[in-house]
Chain A
Amino acid sequence: MFNVEKIRDDFPILSKNVYGNPLVYLDNAATSQKPRQVIDALVDYYENYNANVHRGVHTLSMEATDKFEEAREKVATFINSESSDLVVWTRNASEGLNLIAYSWGEDNVHEGDEILLTPMEHHSNLVPWQELARRKNAVIKFIPMRENGTLDMDKVDDLITERTVLVSAVHMSNALGTINSVRELGQKAHQQGAKILVDGAQSVPHMPTNVQELDCDFLVFSGHKMLGPTGIGALYVKRDILNTMEPFLMGGEMVLEVSYEEASWADLPMRFEAGTPNIADSIGLGSAVDYLNDLGMENVRTHEKNLTSYALNKFKEADLDGMDLFGPDDPEVRGGVFSFNTVDVHPHDLGTFLDRMGIAVRTGHHCAMPLVRSLGVAATVRASFYLYNTEREVDILVDGVTEALRYFRDGSK
């Protein structure tokens, strides 16, 4: 059963007050809050079985290793990976993208090759490719976007050619909320022998993910946006590709045999995990996955879809003067992300005003500078929902924005 009030009780921070008002946390696209269960898992590790992994015969090390690998299993099952050895721990989605750009990109992208992106990529799925393209004299192209913030899929066939080696796309946009048809993009990429990378930083936390059904070659995501700790994320790569990829970082843990002259690499996935890993936070992420599984990702998505419909209606009803709400208006292809701009009141001022009411929103370019500029604005205000947000909180947001506009337009008091 999906009971929001009960869920909220699991999140200690949600009972906090900000400037005397109950916290309304609507910055989930930046990072999510953590339930007691995840916090407890971290404490349990440090208090009861803290030890390095894969290195000791002693009891604690074996227990830590078991829990660490069990967490990897949980994450692998969560995205329906055929096996847990295809899941590489990273610090976050950004590190996963950089790992692919180096380990796969260096050997597979050549002069004149093309990489196809969308205009709504986070800087993390843009800058590594820009740099790779610069090193290799490769070309980056973009799928055009329609007025409503969805991809113009009709143009994709012409853009994917035999020169295309990679299509890399965000599954759910952190700036617009748009949910892209990455499965279809993957099919089109595969028809031309190109690979498909899915940036799941915003989708994995909010909807069921099935890498086999998506048939994606690469998937990256971050733990901290899905109830887990910061500093831990994961990368999934199809086996035949991961097998051919050279390690990105060298050192301990990632080797099989070492002489003074050379070394051979450890099996998957350790080959890509040099040095002592982030043991505590991996285990914390495993616990977050348990929590999400208990709720059911279908239920999470349904809750957020309802909240999104509700918010779309609320904003429409409020009909705020001079306000532009970006992104698709169909909740089927939109996550709970609300980016907007008002002609005369700057996002920063709105953000500060809302903060005084206890409402946490993000203001700025949301690490998608080219996209926000293409909307014709310097910055936006973004409210983003998660499984613990309520319709009441949407009401508070809409009222807050209404009042803020009045305050800045008509003067205080």
Chain B
Amino acid sequence: MYDLEDLYQEIVMDHNRRPRNFGEIKNPTNSANGFNPLCGDQITLQLHLKDGLVSDLAFIGVGCAISKSSASMMTEELKGKTLDHAENLFEAFRKMITRNPGDSYDSDLLGDLEILQGVSRYPARIKCATLAWHTLHSAIHDENNVVSTE
């Protein structure tokens, strides 16, 4: 009605209302907190990494529809995938969200994540969409955030 469908697609709204993998996992090997001070969005991401695979992951947090749905879709997309794939997806996702009008992006690789492509037209919302991904990066790479339960 207000031409907001490019941003708030039905699937985005659905993930917002019923986020997937929302909660905690049993034996996290890695975790990180993400915080967007500008809007108060906050996310805690837990991963179980095994043999180069993301065998399980979940998140909790508060945030807007964009940040929550982005986190939810990310967890769906990554479960059971390799870390290399996760890194490639992050790169492709970041490129899509921050692209200039008319620029292309790797639609094949991104799959369902493409639904968030409209965010690129709302510069104020880019950080909302990438918060979960930056938190993922930090959970995988930052020594400080590694929680080992083994």
Q: Tell me whether chain B's interface is mostly helix, strand or loop, or mixed.
A: loop
Does A3 reach chain B (CB closer than 8 Å)? no
Tell me if B63 and A346 are in contact (CB < 8 A).
yes
Roughly how many angstroms separate A372 CA and B62 CA in the complex, as a whole number?
Answer: 15
Tell me if A412 and B10 are in contact (CB < 8 A).
yes
Question: Which residue of chain B has its CB nearest to the CB of A378?
Answer: B40
A353, A372, A411, A413: the one within 8 Å of B40 (CB) = A372
Q: How far is the CB of B99 from chain A (nearest CB, A)?
A: 19
Give the size of the chain B interface in residues (CB under 8 angstroms): 25
Tell me if B63 and A352 are in contact (CB < 8 A).
no
B3, B40, B41: the one within 8 Å of A19 (CB) = B3
Q: How far is the CB of A91 from chain B (nearest CB, A)?
A: 23
Residues of A within 8 A of B29 (CB): none
Does A356 reach chain B (CB closer than 8 Å)? yes
Contact string, A368-383, partner B, CB cutoff 8 A, digits 1/0? 0100100001110000
B1, B2, B4, B64: the one within 8 Å of A348 (CB) = B64
Given contacts A365-B40, A408-B13, whether A346 and B65 have CB atoms under 8 Å apart is yes
Interface residues of B in 52-105 (CB under 8 A from A): 62-66
Q: How far is the CB of A379 from chain B (nearest CB, A)?
A: 4
Roughly how many angstroms separate A379 CA and B41 CA in the complex, as a whole number?
Answer: 9
Contact string, B122-136, partner A, CB cutoff 8 A, digits 1/0? 101100100000000
Tell me if B4 and A352 are in contact (CB < 8 A).
yes
Roughly how many angstroms separate A379 CA and B37 CA in the complex, as a whole number?
Answer: 10
Sampled A-B contacts (30; CB under 8 Å): A19-B3, A346-B39, A346-B62, A346-B64, A347-B64, A348-B39, A348-B125, A348-B128, A349-B8, A349-B65, A352-B4, A352-B125, A356-B2, A356-B4, A364-B38, A365-B37, A369-B37, A378-B40, A378-B42, A379-B39, A379-B40, A407-B2, A407-B4, A407-B8, A408-B65, A411-B10, A411-B13, A412-B1, A412-B8, A412-B10
Apart from A348-B66, A348-B128, A378-B40, 19 more pairs, CB < 8 Å: A346-B39, A346-B62, A346-B64, A346-B65, A347-B64, A348-B39, A349-B66, A352-B7, A352-B122, A353-B4, A357-B2, A364-B40, A369-B37, A378-B39, A378-B42, A379-B39, A412-B4, A412-B10, A413-B1
